[in-house]
Structure 1
Amino acid sequence: MGSATLLFALFLFCPGGVICEILQNFSDVPPCQAFFYQGQEPTGLASPSTARICQRLQGQYYYATLYHRDARVPIYSAYILEKSTTSRPDLSSTNWYLEPMLADLPQGDMLQPSQSAMQNESEKVTDSQAVNDDYRNSGFSRGHLNPSGHHSAESQISTFTYTNMAPQQGNFNSGTWNNYETFLKDSILPGCSQTHVVTGIILSGSHPGEGVWLRGRVNVPTFYWSAFCCVRGDGSRRAEGRLGSNTAPYEVLAKSIPELEAILGREYGGAVSLFSGGCQ
């Protein structure tokens, strides 16, 4: 067994043989590490309240998420931009996936709420993360951080999990933020040999009573942010960021990577680095 395979095996199983994909570092699982530019996850955004999740469906890894357990929203999702050749899956929000490992259940893949492993532990699952009932009739849309339109086939389906969702104003979701997502796939993707994207949020508060919350359980972000690192065929790079307001008039501002890192650093209380070497 090679060293990389051995490392993967060691971290795939927790004591007692339980499958474990909640990680200390994304580098613990090489397939998950690959979603980050040069294999380096962002620094300065993790906290004792966050969990690193390798988003896995039917044994396949699709992207990486840093999930805030207390706020029940992802701080960011990181992925590789793909050409979309399939239409958006027709998947009811009641069947969007949940993460059993946040509830300490011995399951390696995201599961739908209707599956027996989730139904048998529904109270434990609901306590550990956001669920459909949190969003139902809330006035907010289920905002993908990693959007389905940046993927195809099974990759698209894997984005429909509540660990990849945060409350988003509908007009923002379908308007200015959608314009940015379209810009990435139509204007950036064609000119790049590989594009790494990290998309996240800025919390409106860390605890209920601070900021805006759905049902007193799910934090409503004040801002969405995103950064991309495009590596062209000749080895040159292009990196930019965006900061979008989750309140009217839903302005989305272009930012350099250092500018975006400085904003996030002020919000999260320390130095933030999104890409190794700034993708320069």
Structure 2
Amino acid sequence: MSRTQDQHQTMFVPALLICVVLRAFSAQAKVLTSFNECSQFFYNNTEPEGMNPAAKKICQRLENGGSSYYASLYSVHHRIPLYSAYTLDPECSSTAGRTENWHIEPQISQPESQIDYMVWEKDSDGNLTNRYQAISSDYRDTGYDRGHLNPDSFQCEEGREATFTLTNAAPIDAGFNRIHWKNWESVLRSFLRSSLESDGGSATAFVVTGTVPDANLRIPQREISEEAERVTVPSHIWTAVCYKHQSDDTKSFSLGYIGENKPDGDIRLMRVSDLNDELVRLYSELSMAHQSIHIFVGGCFGDNDKFNEIQGMFDKLINLPVNQVDPLATDAQNMSRKLKRAVRSSQRSYNTVKGYSCRYDHPCGTYGKDYYWCYTGYGFFFDSWDYCSPPLSESRANNGERCRTDYACAKYGSRHDWCYTNNGYKDKCCTSTDCYAAVNDKTCRSDHPCGHYGYSYLWCKTDDEDNWAYCCKDCVD
């Protein structure tokens, strides 16, 4: 046991210390007063200007030494990161992996601690951990994902594991995160990877992904937690890219996009200068920004003619017509329709919501989880996987309407199955259109099929003790 660990033994249970010492690949981060130790993730080694100066600066790296994997600016007040800055290695596999092993940062909740690395959340003292930061239980049953800012699909091996930290996560609507935002991440990765390969490794793609905290929305809700409203939900999620060629600035460019954090949130492509202005407007309501915001010092070649070309490339990648009215704006409605088509075509038992094929030995199913998923490949540290949905033809809300094609019936982090219908209705749902199928996979009593029975909602009795549940099809005249 190290001398530093021994000095702080009173702060952590012995099991935690043993785990920290023995875990060779546990992720860590160092809370600092500046980003000097990980400035390589910022264009021109300069962090964004105009963000919250009181937020914690974290260099995310591995316990066993080596360089940092990315940088995060974490707001203790909101318990979410304001941004994470990272670069893309084009050699990384595009297949993202998932893990249940999330990490927390002891120094945020215990500033006096000299333990400057992250520890497994499951090994930490929860009463101490949640003092100034979010923990996984804050997200439970809320309908929000622990959404990565630095996506795991942009990193390799240990760096991918290091993205699974709650200092790199914010509450993102499950539908927006798993469909819309993930599709934009996939398009961005394909675009940047192609650009880097065509330039023969003579360029660097600097990426910053951030949040706009909502002044009026926090999780968890009071009805599901004794410690309610601890974590701020972002109203918007945004990404900015500075692509810097080492020797030919005519090949350098920048771009940005921003989306509303809601199930059908619009995502707009724009110049970084326009994204700066948009963030000033949004942050002004929170008194979090100065009079100006500069994500990239000097604007990162925002005044060249590359953006029009970028717009066309993005449209080609997502198979959309170029907007003839305003070449600087993305047609968000067409983008939404495109994503819905992609989801509809991927709802077979061997395809995922991102279009990957399920492994032949692991078709789409629940497998003991509260959502549908499957393994998509094999990984060095963990098998990669993705979300999938039950058959769309079997999804119906308990007002009798079919679930929307891009939001099939599933729990999405909640206690019960739910979905959106085409008219915007949101409520509990059934994964079958059978007259005896009720919500949460319950079954109606054989002599009491689903119906209104004098009420405004559909329901049925589920046992001989007259217990009942909502159901989704009117089978009673």
- Does the 8 Å contact 1:145/1:164 carry over to 2? yes
Q: CA deviation at 1:188?
A: 1.7
Counterpart in 1 of 2:208?
Answer: 198
Distance across 2 between alignment mates of 1:102 and 1:239: 33
Report how far residue 87 of structure 1 moved.
4.4
8 Å Cα contact 1:56-1:108 kept in structure 2: no
Match of 2:294 in 1: 273
Choose from 40, 45, 52 the match for 2:46: 40
- Comparing both structures, which one devotes a greater share of its residues to helix? 1
Partner of 1:136: 140
AA aligned to 1:227 is: A
Structure 1: unaligned runs, 5 residues or longer: 1-12
Say whether the 8 Å CA contact 2:43–2:297 is kept in structure 1.
Answer: yes
CA contact (8 A) 1:20 1:106 kept: no
Distance 1:244 1:258, change over 3 A: same
Residues 244-280 of structure 1 deviation map (CA, whole Å, 9 limit, x = unaligned): 1112421100111111101112214421011121111
On the 8 A contact 1:52/1:66 being kept in 2, the answer is: yes
Residue 245 in structure 1 maps to residue 264 in structure 2: no
Aligned 8 A contact 1:139 1:169 in 2: yes
Per-residue deviation, 1:183: 1.5
Deviation of 1:22 after TM superposition, in Å, equals 2.1
Pair 1:146-2:150 in alignment: yes
Distance 2:185 2:191 in 1: 10
Alignment correspondent of 2:30? 21
Distance change (3 Å), C-alpha of 1:86 and 1:20: closer
| 8 A contact 1:146–1:164 mirrored in 2 | yes
The within-5 A match list for 1:71-220 is: 71-83=78-90, 84-85=92-93, 87-92=95-100, 95-104=101-110, 105-115=113-123, 118-119=124-125, 122-192=126-196, 193-205=203-215, 210-214=216-220, 215-220=228-233
Residues of 2 paired with 1:56 and 1:159: CA distance? 10
For residue 10 of structure 1, what is the aligned residue in structure 2? none
Find the structure with the greater CA-based Rg: 2
Shift of 1:176: 1.7
SS in 1 for 2:52: coil
The one-letter code matched in structure 2 to 1:264 is L
- Offset, 1:139: 1.0
1:191 deviation in Å? 0.9
Higher relative contact order (CA 8 A, sep 6+): 1
CA distance in 2, matches of 1:53, 1:246: 25
Contact persistence 1:225–1:242 (CA under 8 A): yes
Distance 1:169 1:243 in 2: 15
Q: Tell me by how many angstroms 1:156 deviates.
A: 0.4
Counterpart CA distance in 2 for 1:63 and 1:82 is 12
Q: Spell out, residue by residue over 1:175-195, the C-alpha distance to the aligned partner (whole angstroms, 9 max, x if none).
A: 221121111211122213210
The answer as to whether partners of 2:139 and 2:219 remain within 8 angstroms in 1 is no
The equivalent of 2:452 in structure 1 is none
Using a 3 Å threshold, how does the CA distance of structure 1 residues 221 and 20 change in structure 2: closer, same or farther?
A: closer
Q: Provide Cα deviations, 1:75-127, integer angstroms capped at 9, x if missing partner.
A: 000001123227434421xx301111112332222110233xx33xx322111
Q: Which amino acid aligns with 2:58?
A: I
Deviation at 1:153, TM superposition (A): 0.4
**TM-score (norm: length of structure 1):** 0.83
Confirm or deny: 8 A CA contact 1:86 1:153 kept in the other structure.
Answer: no
